[in-house]
Amino acid sequence: MQESFVFEGKSRTYRIYLPANYIPGSVRPVIFHFHGYSQTAANEQSFSKWMPVADTAGFLVVYPNGLMDPFHSNNQYWNVGWSWLPNTNDVGFVSALIDTVHARHSTDTQRVYASGMSNGGFMAFLLGANLSNKIAAVASVSGGIAPSVYDTLVPKRPIPTLAIHGTADNLVPYNGSGGMFASVHADSVFAFWGLHNQCAPEVDTTNLPNLATGDGSTVVLFEFKNEACLYDSRLYRIVGGGHVDWPGSSVPGNQDINACSEIWIFFKTYTLPPMVSSEDPHSDDAISISLYPVPAQDEVTISLNQVGDSHDPISLTIVNTMGEVIQRGKINTGESTITVNMKSNSPGMYFVIANQGRRQTVYKLLKV
């Protein structure tokens, strides 16, 4: 059924699916699922096929409608950082939507999740960074993070993330693109979330069984799930998969996994922390370091800005976007800087992981 409410002077609509065994007033988990660019809530409800999983597991599914872009054929969209789209407050809308749906349908506020397809997948990741006080976990299919957002994104807390992305995606390329639907490399997005979740840089890799040999694709699963992780992060790389590929639903498309089942299995293990706290580089407990020059060239100097309460040395690990360790170093007690030689490293994005005692902070480093 379709519902609506007014947000910032505009009527905003959404579709809501109540599971087969739903009893009015019962407290249920809810997934907010976001459509792709130029699509609608009704299209996405039919395409993604969340309903059978919702009926079995007993959760609600909300399909919001984006606003129409008057400059591009009135296509519906989500404002995810692409400069050619109107600067709509979609994060604020979703925050109000979560509250509205809870008031109308008694949802479980500790088990609110966000998923999306394409432009909607970008939106899910954006919400994971900016609305993690209300959302317990996020998932993206054929989506990513816009470069303009990636360069400045500071998530409010660690959050579980799952991504599904095809290597033959021609609209949001797996290797990244600066085109209309600009995104950074899918591996970089995966590494960003894993390292933000304070995982050690090691990544587990699993080649999943090729159950449907005629679908033209296979699946490789990458996981940050080591003991250091506050939350797990997963990436399903669909080798040979295209853009309009919601595994287990769309034909043609990958049939080795079912996206809805995989996402729900991931989501259902997580609830919103009872106290949401910031784990970003600007929090009081963060390890404060400076990198110079930025972007780095042949060398980068890492300087400690504050000693804090701990007198433990600071160990530094530089990793690439797939979590592979490039270099290690240490700022010992009584020291304040270390210079790292980056001359032999290829240009691109790296992560500097600073550890002191049980504290960990991750900084991005661009090498040119």
Q: Which of 159, 115, 144, 364 shows the shortest CA–CA distance to 263?
A: 115
pLDDT per residue as tens digits for the range 250-306: 778 999 999 999 999 999 999 987 543 333 444 455 688 888 888 888 999 998 876
Beta bridge partners of 290: 303
Q: What is the dihedral of CA 284, 290, 294, 297, to 10 degrees?
A: -140
d(CA 252, CA 16): 27
Q: Is 320 in a helix, a strand, or coil? A: coil
Fold (topology level) of 289-367: Immunoglobulin-like (2.60.40)
Amino acid at 300: V
Give one DSSP letter per residue of 164-183, joined into a string: EEETT-SSS-TT-B-STT-B
d(CA 277, CA 205): 31
pLDDT 10s digit of each residue in the chain, 368 long? 999 999 999 999 999 999 998 999 899 999 999 999 999 999 999 999 999 999 999 999 999 999 999 999 999 999 999 999 999 999 999 999 999 999 999 999 999 999 999 999 999 999 999 999 999 999 999 999 999 999 888 888 889 999 999 999 999 999 999 889 999 999 999 999 998 898 888 899 999 999 999 999 999 999 998 888 889 999 999 999 999 999 998 778 999 999 999 999 999 999 987 543 333 444 455 688 888 888 888 999 998 876 554 567 888 888 876 667 788 888 987 788 899 999 998 888 788 888 887 677 778 888 88
User: Which CATH code for domain 2-267?
Assistant: 3.40.50.1820
Can you read off the two tokens belonging to residue 273?
């922390």
pLDDT at 191: 93
d(CA 320, CA 310): 28
Residue 307 neighbours by CB under 8 Å, 6+ apart? none
pLDDT at 321: 67
CATH 2.60.40.3080 domain span(s) along the chain:
289-367
* Residue 177: Cβ within 10 Å count: 18
CATH 3.40.50.1820 domain span(s) along the chain:
2-267
